[in-house]
Amino acid sequence: MGRYVLRRLLQMIPVFIGTTFLIFVMVHALGDPVNALFGDKAPDPAVAAQIRAQYNLNDPLWLQYVKYMGNLFRWDFGTTFSGQTVTSLLATAYPATLKLTAVAFTIEVVFGIGFGLISGLRRGGVADNSVLILTLVVISIPTFVTGYVLQYLIGVKWGIVPATAGDPLTLQSLLLPGIVLASVSLAYVARLTRTTVAENSKADYVRTATAKGLPRRRVVINHLLRNSLIPVVTFLGTDLGALMGGALVTERIFNIHGVGFYLYQGIVRQNSNTVVGFVTILVIVFLAANLLVDLLYAVLDPRIRYA
Partner 1 sequence: MPDLIEKKKTEAVAVSAPEKPEKARSLGSDAWQELRRNPVFLLSAALILLLIVITIAPGLFTSVDPRAGDLRNHYLSKPSYGHLFQDDWFGYDGQGRSIYARVIYGARASIIVGTCVTAAVTVFGGLLGMLAGYFGGWVDTLLSRITDIFFGIPLLLGALVVLNAFTARTVWSVVFALVALGWTQMARVMRGSVITVKQADYVTAARALGAGTPRILFKHILPNAVAPVIVVATIALGGYIATEATLSFLGIGLQDPTISWGIDINSAQNVIRTAPHVLFFPAGMLSLTVLAFIMLGDAVRDALDPKLR
Binding site for partner 1 (CB under 8 A): 14-15, 18-19, 22-23, 26-27, 30-31, 136-137, 139-145, 148-149, 152, 156, 241-242, 244-246, 248-249, 252, 263-264, 267-268, 270, 275, 279, 282-283, 286-287
Closer CB to partner 1, 139 or 298, in the complex:
139
Phi, psi of 51 (to 5 degrees): -65, -45
| Contact criterion met (CB below 8 Å) for 30 and 24 | no
The amino acid at 17: I
Handedness of CA 232, 238, 244, 246 (dihedral sign): negative
Strands (E), the chain: none
Least separation in angstroms between CB 184 and partner 1: 9
Nearest-angstrom CA–CA distance, 275 and 101: 19
Closer CB to partner 1, 49 or 139, in the complex:
139
Least separation in angstroms between CB 20 and partner 1: 9
Least separation in angstroms between CB 217 and partner 1: 29
Cβ neighbours around 190 below 10 Å, total: 27
Phi, psi of 41 (to 5 degrees): -80, 150
Closer CB to partner 1, 192 or 287, in the complex:
287
Nearest-angstrom CA–CA distance, 92 and 259: 9
| Contact criterion met (CB below 8 Å) for 251 and 261 | yes
Contacts of 265 (CB under 8 A, 6+ apart): 271, 274
Least separation in angstroms between CB 1 and partner 1: 23
Closer CB to partner 1, 78 or 219, in the complex:
78
Least separation in angstroms between CB 215 and partner 1: 31
The amino acid at 33: P
Closer CB to partner 1, 102 or 284, in the complex:
284
Least separation in angstroms between CB 150 and partner 1: 11
| Contact criterion met (CB below 8 Å) for 150 and 196 | no
Least separation in angstroms between CB 278 and partner 1: 9
- Cα separation values, 190 from 108, 110, 112, 152, 301, Å: 9, 10, 4, 26, 21
Which DSSP helix (H) or strand (E) runs through 254?
Answer: helix 226-254
Closer CB to partner 1, 214 or 284, in the complex:
284
Least separation in angstroms between CB 121 and partner 1: 18
Closer CB to partner 1, 179 or 249, in the complex:
249
18, HSE (Cβ side, Cα atoms, 13 Å): 6
Closer CB to partner 1, 144 or 214, in the complex:
144
